[in-house]
Amino acid sequence: MSAPRRWPRWLYSAALYLLSPLVWRRVWREHALTNSRWERLGLLSRSPASGPWLWLHCASVGEVQAARPLIEALLAHYPRHRLLVTTMTATGAERVHALIEARRRTGEPERLAHRFLPLDYPGAAKRFVARLCPELAIFFETELWPNLLTVCRRRGVPTAVVNGRLSPRAFRGYRRLRPLMASALAQLDWLAAKSRGDAERFRALGMPATRTDVVGSLKYDLTPDDAASEQSKRLCTRLGSRPVWVAGSTHPGEDERLLEAHARLRQSYPNALLILVPRHPQRFEAVAELCRERGMALARRSRDEWPDGRTGVYLGDTMGELLMLYGAADLAFVGGSLVPVGGHNLLEPAAMGVPVLTGPELANFADVAETLRQGGALVEVRDSAMLADTLVTLFLDEAERHRLAEAGLAVVAANRGALARTMAGLEQLLPGE
C-alpha cells in the first residue's frame, strides 16, 4: 500500500485548531451528565475496565439504534472482549446508556460502555487510542476522522467502516475535500458499503476497490425485542379502537405541517390521535407549545399523562421509545421527509408491522425507499394536504393497511443478512473467540 500524502491532514488539523472556539461552543452544548467534557480531548475519565476492547463509533441516536444488532452480535461473537461505543451527541450517549441499563436489568455482564468521541485533534486522537488500546476500531456509516484513523493505523489497530453510507449530497461536499478524504480512506482496512452506489461514491473519493465490499444495510437486520413488542401491544390495547397514527423523528417546520394534516384528519375522525415524536429532545418544549397554539389538547408521555377521548396529540417526549410507539399505531409517518433533511429510518415502523408513510425528501434513505417502493410497502405524499387525504383514505381501508403492513414485513425479512456478512468481514480483521 502506498503511503498517503500527509499535507491534506496537516492542513485539516491546522483548520481544526483555528476553528477551536466554534468547535468547543458546539460540543459544550452536547453534554451528558454521565460524562466529562474532558473526554472530548481523549482524556478517559473513569478509565474503562481492563480489556481487551473493541471500539464502535456511532455519531448520534439514529446510528446507535441502527447499530444495535451489530452491538449485540459483537458482544456475542467476542465474549472475552468489552465493547466501547462512542458518540458525538448527548442524545446518542443517552441511547447507549439505555442499552447498558437494559443489559444490566437482565443480569448480563457489564461488557458495554460509553464515552464521547474525542475531537479529531492529533493529540486528542493519540491520547484516546493509547489509553483504550482497542483491538478493532469500527466506524458506523460516514464517520471518517482522519487523525483517529491515522493513529489507529500507526498503532496497528485494524479499522473498518460498516453500513457505509455516502449520499449523493454528502458526496458532492466530500468531493471538494478529495485529497483529505483519499488520505483518510487509505488508512481503512475494510469498507462494508450499504449499496453499490455507496461503494462507487466511496471509490470515487479514493477508497481502494480491493478493500471494499457491498454487504447491504444493517438496518434490515433490526429485530424488535420482546419487551418493545409487548409494550406496543399494551399501549395499543389501552388506546382502544380510535384511529392512531404516529409521526416519528420530526423536525422544525415539519411539525406545523403534520399538525395541519392532523386537524384535517380530525374533521373526518374527531377522535383521531397523533403520537408526535420530535427528533431532538431540546425541541420537546417548543413542540408542546406549538400543539397548544394550534388548539390541540395535549398529553405528554414524559409526565405520565394519558390521552383521553378529547386529546388530539400524545407527545412522545421520551428517549429510546420510538420503535415501541411506532408499534402501537395504525399508521406511521417517518419525519425529516417533509422538510429538506433527507428522511430517517423507514424500516423501523416496517419492522414493527406498521404501514409506512413518508414525504418526498428521502436523500439519506433513497436505497431503502426504493426497496420498499418496489415491494409495494411505501406510501409517499407531497405535502400536508396530500398527507391528510391519504390518512383519511387508509383509515377507511383496513384491508389496504393490512396489505401495506405485510408488505413491509416481507421487505425487511427478504433483505436481512447484512449483519452476517458484516461480521464475516470483521472476522478477517480480528478472528472470533
φ and ψ of 96, to 5 deg = -65, -45
Helices (H), 142-225: 146-154, 168-175, 178-185, 196-204
What single letter denotes the amino acid at residue 236?
Answer: C
Q: Tell me if 146 sits within 8 A of 9, measured CB to CB.
A: yes
Cα 82 from Cα 135, distance rounded (Å)? 10
Which grid cell is 250? 420530526
Whether residue 260 lies in the annotated active site: no
Catalytic annotation, pick one of 30, 39, 63, 427: 63
Distances (CA, A) of 364 to 34, 178, 252, 418: 31, 21, 18, 18
Q: Tell me if 245 sits within 8 A of 275, measured CB to CB.
A: yes
SS3 content of the chain, % helix, strand, coil (to 5): 50, 15, 35
| DSSP 8-state assignment for residue 252 | T
Burial class (CB in 10 A: 0-12, 13-18, 19+), 253: exposed
List of E strands, 36-116: 53-57, 82-87, 112-116
Residue 393 CB neighbour total at 10 angstroms: 12
Cα 131 from Cα 183, distance rounded (Å)? 25
Q: Tell me if 51 sits within 8 A of 135, measured CB to CB.
A: yes
Which grid cell is 284? 420537546
With a CB cutoff of 8 Å and minimum separation 6, the contacts of 235 are: 324, 325, 328
- Give residue for cell 437494559: 102
Cα 333 from Cα 360, distance rounded (Å)? 12
With a CB cutoff of 8 Å and minimum separation 6, the contacts of 141 are: 58, 59, 63, 66, 161, 162, 163, 164, 165
Comparing CA positions, the residue from 290, 257, 284 lying closest to residue 387 is 257
Cα 275 from Cα 292, distance rounded (Å)? 15
Residue 393: strand pairing partners: none
Catalytically annotated residues = 63
